[in-house]
Chains A and B, each alone.
Chain A
Amino acid sequence: SQQGEEDPQALSIQEGENATMNCSYKTSINNLQWYRQNSGRGLVHLILIRSNEREKHSGRLRVTLDTSKKSSSLLITASRAADTASYFCATDPSNDYKLSFGAGTTVTVRA
């Protein structure tokens, strides 16, 4: 069964706008990761946030983690057409080197 669930399932925004997507999970985690997938291609790791961290930044990406609510959010600022992709959260429950992926959020950035 999948650990994480992303919300919304799909998101359409104008270039330059911010995109926010959320991930909820069920069990305790060691870390949570976000990946991007361009259409039909392999997933690319974006950012990892550990259970003792609350916020992390990488370029135009900002990730937050609230372990009390078992949720995370990914914010993409100043979106570009190249950000059009599916975004997945993945939880690492106990550092046992297995990840559980959510179903993903499909983001479309309109020019």
Chain B
Amino acid sequence: DADVTQTPRNRITKTGKRIMLECSQTKGHDRMYWYRQDPGLGLRLIYYSFDVKDINKGEISDGYSVSRQAQAKFSLSLESAIPNQTALYFCATRGGSAGEQFFGPGTRLTVL
């Protein structure tokens, strides 16, 4: 089974709808991240969390919110989706001393 899972994998929605993307991990890591990827722009950090009580904004947090329901779960919400939020969204985790991040398979979101 995958260590970092994301649901849904694909979602098409309409402008103004509320959307929640979910991420779960079995790696036991405290640190979790949400990124979006747009063609030609690489990954940009939306929000990150170092533990259940610690939530931080990334470089592009406007229009997004997050919830860390448990160590293993980190959800990303779009309160009122707009077309320029169409992108590929990735969740990632990171352990303690090692620097690498572990990524989920991504959610492809299309906002019409």
Within 58-107 of A, Cβ neighbours of B (below 8 Å) are at 88, 90, 92, 95, 97-104
Is there contact, CB below 8 Å, between B43 and A43? Answer: yes
Q: How many residues of A sit at the interface, in one of the four size bands?
A: 20 to 34
Is there contact, CB below 8 Å, between A48 and B48? Answer: no
Within 82-112 of B, Cβ neighbours of A (below 8 Å) are at 88, 90, 92, 94, 98-106, 108
Give chain A residues whose Cβ lies under 8 Å from the Cβ of B44.
Answer: 2, 101
Known: A97-B94, A101-B43. A40 touches B99 (CB 8 A): no
Q: Among B41, B48, B106, which residue has its beta carbon within 8 angstroms of that of A42?
A: B106
Interface string of B30-73 (1 = CB under 8 A from A): 01010100001111110010100000001100000000000000
Q: How many residues of B sit at the interface, in one of the four size bands?
A: 20 to 34
State how many angstroms separate the Cβ of A76 from the closest Cβ of chain B.
18
B interface: dominant SS:
strand
Give chain B residues whose Cβ lies under 8 Å from the Cβ of A31.
Answer: 99
A100 to B101, CA, bound (A): 12
**Cross-chain pairs A/B with CB under 8 angstroms, 23 sampled:** A1-B59, A40-B106, A41-B105, A41-B106, A42-B4, A42-B103, A42-B105, A42-B106, A43-B90, A43-B103, A44-B103, A45-B100, A88-B43, A90-B101, A97-B94, A98-B48, A98-B58, A99-B45, A101-B35, A101-B43, A102-B42, A103-B42, A104-B42
Beyond the given A45-B100, A48-B99, please list 8 additional residue pairs across the A-B interface where CB-CB is below 8 A.
A2-B44, A40-B106, A42-B4, A42-B103, A43-B43, A98-B48, A98-B58, A101-B43
